[in-house]
Structure 1
Amino acid sequence: MPDPSCTTAETLLIEGPDAVAFAQSQFTVAVASIAPGEWQFGAWLDAQGRVRYLFHLARLAPDRLLLLLRGGHADAMKNELSRFVFRAKLSLHADNSQSLATADALPLHQVHALDSVTRFGCDDHSLVLSSDANADTRWHSLQIAAGWPWLPDTLLGTCLPPALSLHRLHAVSLDKGCYPGQEIVARLHYRGGNKRHLCRVGLSQPMASGTLLEIDGDGSPIQLLNATSTDRGAEAIALCHSELACADEPVTATHAGQKVTVERLQTWPA
């Protein structure tokens, strides 16, 4: 079963005459280049370049932005972000009253907002904000296969963009102007040095998102991000150190005294 923490639609609405300029100055994505009716992955970093929040950023109208968070809580982000608003003409509204559900296919990066229904195009499916607590959650496995990470609460503010493969997702810009953490992003991109990589792994038994798996012997631990159950056990997106990110053979790990076999299925570029 999907992790319940990934099924609540935590959204933050930013609207007003200065909404785009404000978001452009704070977030990693080139907000001004997103056309109304489109979305892009984006992130909000701290001064050390670590990802505070990861999200889909949709431009619903020229001065209306909707962030669908991939981890964390919209109320907390609103409170943290409001400290930087100053005299900007905009409003922030957090909402966690809906669930995330799987809907019909919609081209990648399109967003459809009609009445109270908002759909984010994800190519072979779409994410829809739903009031149905028992909504279809097949999107979990589809997005794990695509390498779209979800950040557990314990990892907010701990991961650098390369570890989450944010360049691959076009979630960071190197030339759009200043934003928090930009110098770190550029340094890591041009000089390298990242030691953690985003991988898709198969697990011999279901494990919760956010679980840290200790590798038998001297290996570095595996940090699970989003995980979902399968007929064979589970699959997850995980942060793995370099030696495991290219391993061809399964490894044995331990969590809470239980042994679990971990097989690397895919590694995405930093």
Structure 2
Amino acid sequence: MPTHYSAQTLLIEGPDARAFAQAQFSSDVQSLAIGQWQFSAWLDAQGRVRALFHLARLADDTLLLLLRGGEAAPMAQSLQRFVFRSKLKLTAHEPRTLGTGPALDTYALRREGDATIFGCGEHSLVVGASADDAWRLPQIRAGWPWLPDNTLDQCLAPALSLERLQAVAFEKGCYPGQEIVARLHYRGGHKRHMHCVVLSQPLQAGTVLRHEGKEVAQLLDVAADAQSIEALAVIGDDIVSQFDNGALHRVDGDVSMRVTDSWPA
């Protein structure tokens, strides 16, 4: 498991910043108030999640993205191709430290000196604070995914519970992947969903677990305290139905996995 995650941030500023974000990202950006943040994502045309992030509105025409996995610089380069004549500037910041702050209402945003603070309820995420991992386990238990590199461009929105996080909008205009998101929402049919699991031993984020030669789970973030090792995992519905009282034993030889919470799309 990595020692610390860094804060990868991307600034979008200019008269057309919100309109651009509304057209590219999956959340309802126009509803975002100054001093607030929302979950959002950038999808590809097939509805797969290219990036998941906290989207904050710093000012009337200024948005800040805190990525939950991936790197800001390549994302800024990819977004630049869609700017065309829009009046805005994309700036990928150098990675900064990411730490845990005191309780702050979920979706609240504060600036204190050089630090940016994202309220997460019983704690906060602080960009520019002393690096620590205390925030990771509470967010795993809340079902807030952090995406390892090998899951980027791989997962559809329902597999990451983005509807529950209000990271996808169904009533706004088109954005990349919108048709797939709407189809899965109204017709259903997606067979992989996100679960919080307890592992019998520490594993790296991004690990693919197999049982009897078949892939059964893709781990997202993994964190531990003195009592347990916990992770968010994308698991096929058919696999979960085979668990014995919520547990699957001898995965990849000697790993056991027990589901403690599950989320729909």
- Is structure 2 residue 141 aligned with structure 1 residue 145? yes
Name stretches of at least 5 consecutive residues in structure 2 with no aligned partner: none
1:41-190 correspondence runs (5 A): 41-130=39-128, 132=130, 135-190=131-186
Amino acid at match of 2:161: S
State the Cα distance separating 1:7 from its structure 2 match: 1.1
In 2: Cα distance, 1:244 partner to 1:166 partner: 21
- In the alignment, which residue of structure 2 is the partner of 1:250? 247
Deviates more, 1:146-155 or 1:223-232: 223-232
Task: Quote how far apart the aligned CAs of 1:232 are.
Answer: 4.2
**Structure 1 CA distance, aligned partners of 2:100 and 2:112?**
17
1:7 maps to a residue whose letter is Y
- Which residue does the alignment assign to 1:3? 2
CA distance in 2, matches of 1:207, 1:32: 40
Task: Tell me by how many angstroms 1:176 deviates.
Answer: 1.0
Equivalent in 250, 267, 270 of residue 262 of structure 2: 267
- Flag structure 1 segments of 5+ consecutive residues without an equivalent: none
Q: Which runs of 4+ in 1 moved over 6 A?
A: none
Moved more, 182-191 or 221-230: 221-230
Equivalent residues of 1:198, 1:268 under 8 A apart: yes
Query: Does structure 1 retain, via aligned residues, the 8 Å contact 2:16–2:86?
Result: yes
Q: CA deviation at 1:99?
A: 1.4
Q: Distance in 1 between matches of 2:210 and 2:96?
A: 35
- Per-residue CA deviation, residues 150-186 of structure 1 (Å, 9 max, x unaligned), is 1111111110000000000000000111100000000
1:238 to 233, 247, 251: 233
- Give the share of equivalent positions with the same residue, in percent: 52
Question: What amino acid is the match of 2:119?
Answer: G
CA distance in 2, matches of 1:40, 1:68: 11
- Larger mean CA deviation between 219-228 and 45-54 belongs to 219-228
Change (3 A) 1:253 1:43: farther
Give 1:219 shift.
Answer: 5.3
C-alpha contact 1:213 1:253 (8 A) present in aligned 2: no
Amino acid at match of 2:125: L
So what's the TM-score if we normalise by structure 1?
0.93
Q: CA deviation at 1:221?
A: 1.7
Aligned to 1:76, the other structure's residue is in SS state helix
Structure-2-length-normalised TM-score:
0.95
Of 223, 231, 237, the residue aligned with 1:228 is: 223
Please state whether the residue corresponding to 1:159 is helix, strand or coil: coil
Out of 184, 187, 192, which is 1:196 matched to?
192
CA contact (8 A) 2:240 2:246 kept: no
Task: Give the C-alpha shift of residue 234 in structure 1.
Answer: 1.2
Deviation per CA, 1:57-86: give whole Å up to 9, x if none.
000101000000001000010011000001
Kindly state the Cα deviation for residue 100 of structure 1 after the two structures are TM-superposed.
1.0
